[in-house]
Chain A
Amino acid sequence: MTTAIEQSMNNEILLDEPLAPKRTRRQEFWSLLRKNRLAIWGLVTFIIFFFVALTGLFLTAGTNPIMDPSMVRLQEKLRPPMARPNMDTLKSVEIPALGIYLFGTDDLGRDVFARMLQGAWVSLTVGFVAVGISVLIGIFMGGIAGYFGERQFRIDHLIVAGLLIIGIGLVIANIYVWGNITFLAGLLWLFDLIVRRKRSNTRRGPTGAGLLQKNALSVDTLIMRFVDIMLCFPSFILILTVIAILPASIYNIMIVIGLTSWMGATRFVRAEFLSLREQDFVTAARALGVGNFRIIFRHMMPNAIAPVLVSATIGIATAILTEAGLSFLGFGVPPPHATWGNILSDGKGFIFDAPWLTFVPGFAILIVVLSFNLFGEGLRDALNPKLREGR
């Protein structure tokens, strides 16, 4: 018996197909990405822009920068690109570092090239950080909604949450006594719920408690209806409201844009999770004793990330444009600081007299967004092992 088994196992080993030449995962990834020329162009363009933005940050920063983006030369206003400055009328500090106005000057005679350099860093970071925030929130919410969607909140859960929120609200509204009482009552009840959940068998309480134990709404309903509510707000107006309350700074804008643009990612992730949850490998992972959160973030997320990646690359573009719009309305980055958005919107009034004021930042945004989309798509293809086989 044993010999027969060993025989068959040996046979199997002998029958095994010859191995293909092996490469490490990184080599394989690179060779795939390299074949996708558009993606490589996207990556290269983006890297160039990144370094330009980085050098721009250094060249234009400080009290006495090499290229001063806020240097006003009223006599040199609206000069076209490549124009030579009129050396006779300028003081030596006013002469641009390059010797020419590479991208022309705006209506105040400021060097557009210097302003573009300064704005590049803002635009790129706004795009990245805002999308980063929104994707993180989206993945988390979508993951919870997709994986735990069937879990139910009971009526008593909702009452506890209500008590806690009302309590905090009253305390904030300076009604301390009632606020604290409500809050403590909520906490006690919460504690009771947790303790009783541990002893799951003794769940049957007095008969009146039956009503409280009725299922009220599912996790999925809660999260997805919240998404719907968020989508109902015109997000730009919402951002305006928040910005009006908060002090205008780059970071607040990043955070607010991030907090108002996670709904798309949530929907994508949830939709992917609903189909992934029923897949055999998820059941198999659970059968191995893998925890819920590890399954969500390690097993399911890499399978669900592709549409999120693509929407994120588009989201970066949207975030840059949103920041531009905010700057235009005067709610964005405070005025002396240039961003691509406010260069664009400042130049809007001179679009026929000085088209470079709109074309230069517009073209820059276009190229960054385009290179991002191409790279994102190439990345998705190269990261997806299912697509590797056919090539």
Chain B
Amino acid sequence: MATNQDMLLSIQDLKVYFRGNGKIARAVDGVSCEVAHGETVCLVGESGCGKTVSALTILGLISQPPGEIVGGRILFKGQNLLDMTEDEMQKIRGNRIAMVFQEPMTSLNPVFTVGDQIEEAIMVHENVSPAETRERCVRLLTDVGIAAPEERLKDYPHQLSGGQRQRVMIAMALACHPELVIADEPTTALDVTVQAQILNLFAALQKKMGMSLLYITHDLSVVAKIADRIYVMYAGIIVEQADASDIFHHPHHPYTQGLLASLPARGNRGKKLHSIPGQVPDPAYKPSGCPFHPRCDFAVTTCHDTLPEMCDDGKGHLSRCPVLYELRYETGGGRDQFIQ
């Protein structure tokens, strides 16, 4: 945590609650994470664990009410985004932090051409001549691998395929050369071949433009492909964070272990697929203590009433499970024994 200043984005103990019907849904309940310059960070978790809410909060897009940012800080290059006024946020959105959304089918305005929308992304933030704007649009579309960009600029969104629309969304996000791109499950709505193309595209663009990428997904195969570092989220908190390969080879938290074991793999063909027993808790009625304890094989009595601290293994691999932490150090390096 001492490296806050070097980090491009540093979220500290963010809490976002939603009020409604006399209930409080604690969607994000103390998330801390960091993205360094030029790094690809993946935020992994099941549906409804607060990934998207975290992302929207970074850009100040949570509508309040019903949402409420209860605590925490979001430092972007040392400035707290939560303290900024709406006007200041507008200058940051799309300009320095951009976002790519999950649904390319509905994220483009159906009544404007692709060209209009990319042009707008540029013109909102930069004062450039129409000719130059147009030229930049063509270049952006070329960058994201769309054939015949000049023709495509005149197309309406419905005339493009899903993959092309997502490419257009990426082009819009990159229009002002942002330092951070937040991608909220950008490939979930696409089929696998297109997904691979989009992931390659992200990798290539990142190499070319040097931006950081905060990639939100539930798909572990995607994570394996692109992530430098991974944060695993469960029920509004980060349960494990580590370098990508570390998490895949030595998961420390029971939830991560369960997730990895649930992946269909070639090795266990014909066997019954593993699944984590129980269900994701309702954010309005979260279990006390560790939110994962009702589903956890390793739960002990302390898990029921105290939220465990992050345990550091000394190599930057943190996990919110003291039980396994102690076990690991008692048995001495037998880290893999808990993997199913």
Instruction: Please give the residue numbers on chain A whose beta carbons come within 8 Å of chain B beta carbons, in ascending order.
Output: 1-2, 4-6, 8-9, 12-13, 16-17, 19, 22, 24-25, 150, 198, 200-201, 279-281, 283-291, 294, 298-299, 302-303, 384-386, 388-389
Contacts and interface: CB of A to CB of B under 8 A. Distances in A.
B101 A283 contact: yes
A288 B94 contact: yes
A285 B109 contact: yes
Given A22-B154, A287-B93, A281 B106 contact: yes
A13 B59 CA distance: 33
Interface in B93-150: 93-95, 98-99, 101-103, 106-113, 120-121, 124-125, 145-148
**Majority secondary structure of chain A interface residues (helix, strand, loop or mixed):** helix
Contacts of B200: 4-5, 8-9
Interface stretch (B68-76, B84-92, B296-304): B84-92
Given A299-B109, A385-B111, A386-B158, A288 B197 contact: no
Contact of A288 (B83, B121, B196): B121
Interface stretch (B17-25, B201-209, B215-223, B312-320): B201-209
Contact of A280 (B91, B107, B125, B156): B107
Nearest to A294: B124
A129 B98 CA distance: 43
Contacts of B211: none
B69 to A, nearest CB: 12
Given A9-B201, A25-B113, A385-B111, A289 B90 contact: yes
A385 B112 CA distance: 9
A13 B101 CA distance: 23
Contacts of B340: none
Contacts of A302: 111-112
Contact of B85 (A4, A8, A200, A388): A200
A19 to B, nearest CB: 6
A288 B124 contact: yes
Interface of B: 56, 59, 61, 63, 65, 83, 85, 90-95, 98-99, 101-103, 106-113, 120-121, 124-125, 145-148, 151, 154, 156, 158-159, 161, 169, 172-173, 175, 196-197, 200-201, 203-204, 207
A280 B93 contact: no
B303 to A, nearest CB: 37
Contacts of A285: 109
Contacts of A198: 85
Q: Rank and list the top 3 A-B pairs by shortest CB-CB distance, nearest first.
A: A288-B94, A289-B93, A289-B94
B158 A287 contact: no
A294 B99 CA distance: 19
A25 B113 CA distance: 9
A214 to B, nearest CB: 14
A9 B200 CA distance: 8
A386 B110 contact: yes
Given A16-B147, A150-B63, A288-B121, A303 B109 contact: yes
A290 B120 contact: yes
Contacts of B90: 289-291
Contacts of A16: 146-148
Contacts of B110: 281, 303, 385-386
A289 B61 CA distance: 10
A288 B93 contact: yes
A288 B169 CA distance: 10
B204 A201 contact: no
Contact of B109 (A1, A150, A281): A281
A171 B95 CA distance: 49
A280 B85 CA distance: 23
B204 A281 contact: no
Contact of A9 (B151, B175, B204): B204
Given A8-B197, A198-B85, A386-B158, A281 B63 contact: no
Contacts of A1: 203
Contact of A289 (B65, B112, B125, B146): B125
Contacts of A303: 109-111
